[in-house]
Amino acid sequence: MARVLLVEDDPLVRSAVISDLSGRAHAVRTAGTALDGIRELSSFPPEVIVLDLGLPDLDGRQALRMMRAVSSTPVIIATACDDEAEVVRLLNAGADDYVVKPFSCEHLAARITALLRRTAGGGGIPVIRVGGLEVDVARRAASLDGAALSLSRREFDLLAYLAARPGEVVSRRDLLAEVWHQSYGDDQTIDVHVSWLRRKLGETAASPRYIRTVRGVGVLLDQPE
Ligand code: CA
């Protein structure tokens, strides 16, 4: 079972894939344009992306490049043309596998399973990478530039939550609800944990690298500029 993001503008293909993959216990989200797909990446960090190359807003290579810029999630491209040179270009540009349209849902499901087996964690929860930061959610291990970070449980949860949403400002209220599992609490608790986490990442509020505070809004984690 995996979280699958299907970026496909054809409603017939979408509904067929949703019903088939859901029947195989995958959690499927869909987007009809590349830009919606990129937005979904942060709200629903998938373990596999199935990317149609014929989308209305961006061409396949642009869409792939933009996804690769924000996510290391494995991508299966779905192409209508059986053009080997183009497929090779896309594999070189960061795609992990491809299916040629029209494909059967069974074929796609088999590709997804095989891809998950090959990728980190053996098909479980993905390893999140943002710049030199690596967060292995399944193992609850994190490292920065290859050096293991020693984090408390809460610091790890905070880091994993922010790292799964790179570049997205997360409000203190969301952190309270999602990391602390509380509907009401003290902003200071969060600020203190953010500052401890910063220290572990070797940075300060005055000279941030990964974690930035957006005054009056919240915090965000992104790769250093
Ligand atoms: Ca299409």
| CATH for 3-120, options being 3.40.50.2300, 3.20.20.70, 3.30.230.10, 3.90.180.10 | 3.40.50.2300
* 219 strand-pairing partners: 170, 213
Average pLDDT value for residue range 110-133: 78
Cβ atoms of 159 and 214 closer than 8 Å: no
Q: Give the Cα separation of 12 and 36 in Å (integer).
A: 18
Over range 120-128, report the average pLDDT.
61
Q: With cut-offs at 50, 70 and 90, classify the pLDDT of residue 122.
A: very low
Beta carbons of 63 and 33 less than 8 angstroms apart: no
Quick one: average pLDDT of 2-19? 95
Taking the centre of ligand 1 as the mean of its atom positions, its distance from the CA of residue 104, in whole angstroms, is: 16
Q: How many angstroms does the Cα of residue 13 sit away from the middle of ligand 1?
A: 9
Higher pLDDT pick, 38 / 84:
38
Q: Residues 28, 18: contact at Cβ < 8 Å?
A: yes
Q: What is the pLDDT of residues 84-103, one digit of tens each?
A: 888 888 888 889 899 999 99
**Residue 123, pLDDT above cutoff 80:** no
* pLDDT tens figures, 181-205: 887 788 888 999 999 999 999 999 8
Task: Answer whether residue 180 shows pLDDT above 60.
Answer: yes
CA-to-CA distance for 51 and 67, rounded, in angstroms? 10
Delimit the domains of the chain by residue range: 3-120, 127-221
pLDDT per position as a tens digit, 148-176: 999 998 899 999 999 999 999 999 989 98
Centre of ligand 1 to C-alpha 150, Å, is: 45
What class, spelled out in words, does domain 127-221 have in CATH? mainly alpha
Residue 54: both structure tokens together: 């014929």
Structure confidence at residue 8 (pLDDT): 96
For residue 102, report the distance from its CA to the centre of ligand 1, in Å: 11
**Within a 10 A sphere around the Cβ of 56, how many other Cβ atoms?**
9
Q: CA–CA distance from 165 to each of 4, 61, 160, 187, 215 (Å)?
A: 17, 23, 9, 20, 18
CA of 109 to the centre of ligand 1 (A): 19
* pLDDT of residue 63 exceeding 60: yes
Q: How far is the CA of 54 from the centre of ligand 1 (A)?
A: 4
Centre of ligand 1 from the C-alpha of residue 181, in Å: 40
What is the residue-wise DSSP string for 156-180? HHHHHHHHTSTT--EEHHHHHHHTS
Ligand 1 centre from 22 Cα, in Å?
A: 21
Q: What one-character-per-residue DSSP string does 104-173 give?
A: -HHHHHHHHHHHHHHSGGGGSSPEEEETTEEEETTTTEEEETTEEP---HHHHHHHHHHHTSTT--EEHH
Look at residue 1 and give its three-state secondary structure: coil
β-bridge pairing 218-221 and 211-214: antiparallel
